[in-house]
Amino acid sequence: MIAAALLVPIAGQARADDDVTKMTASEIVGAITEGKMTAQEVAEASLAVAQEKSGLNAFITLDRSRALAEARNVDQRIAASGASGPLAGVPIVVKDNILVSGLRATAGTPGLDSFVPTRTAPVAQRLLDNGAVLIGKTNMHELAFGITSNNAAYGAVGNAVAPDRFAGGSSGGTATAIAAGMAAAGLGTDTGGSVRIPAALNGLVGLRPTTGRYPSEGIVPISSTRDTAGPMARTVADVALLDAVITQGDVNLDGVDLATVRLGVPEELVANLSPGVKASFDDALATLEEAGVTLVPVKMDDIMRMSGEAGFPIALYEVKRDLTAFLADRAPDRTLDGLVAAIASPDVKGVFDNAVMGENGVPDEVYRKAVDTLRPAMQEAYRTLFAENTLDAIVFPTTPLEAQPIEGSDETVTLNGEAVPTFEAFIRNTDPGSILGVPGVTLPIATTEEGLPVGLELDGAADGDRRLLAIALAVEGVVGE
């Protein structure tokens, strides 16, 4: 429960449903620009929740003074000219591997604990330039190399719905902060599912845009082939708004008649689901059919095989190259060897020691096959799948199982009675789209009997982000949680 002191009136008198920390970004913008609340009131409410729920460990850096100063600037601009940006006063959070000038950017690792950049990443700057108010930098899986956000250096991020469960990762802090009411929207990064997985596990909407659609400068990298920033929020409309601001495009989405939509249902991505995820997803498909959507069973066996062969070699080869280049440009007093030596999380340290550094790194010929042969073949097979089946998108559960307990889940989780590797289990459905470089959006469709969120993902054609968001908006209208 949010304390009564955090309720802000939006229509004259305070009401029980006037809790600003549960409002959408669009509602907040409307209320502020209409003079029904101030950006400072919104920021204060968000900061109060962040303090109240600090046990979730969503933040690495919470900056109260900066947030309030930014909020007052928004109020002053509105008072002076009536002008306001499309995100006027919206409280946001930014994952701690995305640089913001004047705030430390740790990427969740001790080797960058005192790194304070002097330039803001363009993807974050565009939100701030359009009126967003930054509440703080969020916790994450160390160096973005994991899906639980159980960080040995800065602590585990608790799930906003069930604090003893993990938040997902690697953008777990961003998801938890939004879902818990500390912000209305935020930025994560996604290399194999790191926006979509935590969004799904916390009951949010999250977008992985087409690779290269968002500026990548000023983000601590893993893989230039696979990395992208991505927005999270409570609704598809809010995510579409952030997407439009970041890409400097039209904020409006075209209307979609679900009776004209054809969605492929990949056999490989709907197999071996937990009972709760399977029941929720089956119900969602039935609802979509009732709404007129044409569901087309498809197979992606070749795409999945090539994904398995290409994914790790690309990421593990490029992190050595790309992270070295990032440090040389932005933090020249630090080296990759020094960064790796200071890694605190055993799972991340193991990856770097055993699969990245020195003679254990990916051989050139293995990388070249993955990036020059397998990935283009995957992309061609994906285009063919869409063309031969006249698909608008494919649809599947974002993760095969719901959020699992923080304790005991670093290495394995139990899926249908079998112990399976945690990382591989949770990225199974999201990783192929990351390698393909296509847009994917997750939205909440249900909660299990235990009250845990379940996400449904739609993946579209490359560069079809706005069309995919329009479809997601229509889908949300009939199956959204």
Report d(CA 149, CA 151) in Å as an integer.
Answer: 6
Question: DSSP readout, 42-103?
Answer: HHHHHHHHHHHTGGG--EEEE-HHHHHHHHHHHHHHHHHHS---TTTT-EEEEETTB-BTTB
What tokens appear for 424 in the block? 């591989």
Active site residues: 95, 170, 194
d(CA 319, CA 343): 15
Q: Which residue, among 424, 444, 453, has the nearest Cα to 192 in the 3D structure?
A: 424
Do strands 262-266 and 294-298 pair parallel, antiparallel, or not at all (unpaired)?
parallel
Residue 308 DSSP symbol:
H
**Rounded Cα–Cα distance for residues 164 and 156 (Å):** 10
CB hemisphere CA count around 405 (13 angstroms)? 3
**End-to-end C-alpha distance for the chain, whole angstroms:** 20
SS3 of residue 208 by DSSP: strand
Which element (helix H / strand E) includes 230? strand 228-233
Q: In Å, what is the CA distance from 125 to each residue of 51, 105, 132?
A: 25, 15, 9
- Kind and range of the H or E run holding 240: helix 236-247
Rounded to an integer, what distance in angstroms lies between the CA atom of residue 330 and that of residue 341?
Answer: 19
**Residues 6 or more apart from 168 whose CB is under 8 A from it?**
147, 148, 149, 159, 175, 197, 198, 199, 200, 201, 202, 399, 403, 426
Take residue 109 and report the two structure tokens written for it.
């690792």
